[in-house]
Amino acid sequence: MEIIIKYWSQITVLLGVVIGGTGFILKVLLNWNLRKKEITFSKIKETKIVELRRFYSSYINLEFELKKLFHATAQDRAKDVAEIQQRMPEIWKQFYLDSTFLRIYLSNNELEIFEELKKELDNAQLKIDFYRLDQKYKKYDNDLIKELLYIRDEVFPKKIPALLKQIELNFKKDFNIK
């Protein structure tokens, strides 16, 4: 007890240095951890934007080619249809690749919209292919023609743009853009 009374000022300074030093070290470690998480989060957001851009690029290419195929098939331009059909596997492959990479960064809610978009595009391709088979064998199914008209009048001009608008709104919300 005598040591404490005799050296009380030195003990106070020593305690102050130890507590202050510990606090400083904790602050530095906490700031470092927060900065590390911030950088990781920032990188993920940046990568998500890059993947979204790639997805949109491959989507626009696929939609463009599907519409060209639709019109060429409807107008019975066999040469154009053959050229487009030759390019379609590579276009679909790129679309699936880009959408698969983007899926890594999407929430379940966002995934549903992308799946709906993919389903609509797959369905359009399938119906066009069925119609081409009907053309080849000179058999025409009225239900198939109605479905193709629905794709032409509803899916491409209304349903797909609505899905894309929903995707855009989700990303704006995700990035706090008004």
What are the pLDDT digits (tens) for 64-123? 999 998 888 888 888 988 898 899 999 999 999 999 888 888 888 888 998 999 999 999
In a domain, 75, yes or no: yes
In a domain, 44, yes or no: no
| R_g over Cα of the chain | 30
pTM of the model: 0.71
Q: Is 9 contained in some domain?
A: no
pLDDT at 14: 80
Instruction: Examine the pLDDT at 63 and tell me if it is beyond 80.
Output: yes
Take residue 109 and report the two structure tokens written for it. Answer: 């809610």
DSSP sequence for 19-55:
HHHHHHHHHHHHHHHHHHHHHHHHHHHHHHHHHHHHH
In tens, the pLDDT along 11-30 reads: 788 878 888 888 878 887 78
Of the candidates 110, 125, 112, 113, the one whose C-alpha atom is nearest the C-alpha of residue 156 is 125
Which letter does DSSP use for residue 138 in this model? T
User: Would residue 13 count as lying in a domain?
Assistant: no
Number of domains in the chain: 1
38 falls within a domain: no
Q: Which of 104, 116, 100, 113 is nearest to 167 (CA)?
A: 113
Helices (H), 104-138: 108-136
Mean pLDDT (whole number) for 125-153: 85
In a domain, 18, yes or no: no
> Does residue 101 form part of some domain?
yes
Residue 102 falls within a domain, yes or no? yes
Name the percent of the chain lying above pLDDT 90: 28
Residue 54 has pLDDT above 90, yes or no: yes
User: Residue written as tokens 């003990």?
Assistant: 11
- Quote the domain boundaries for residue 135: 50-174
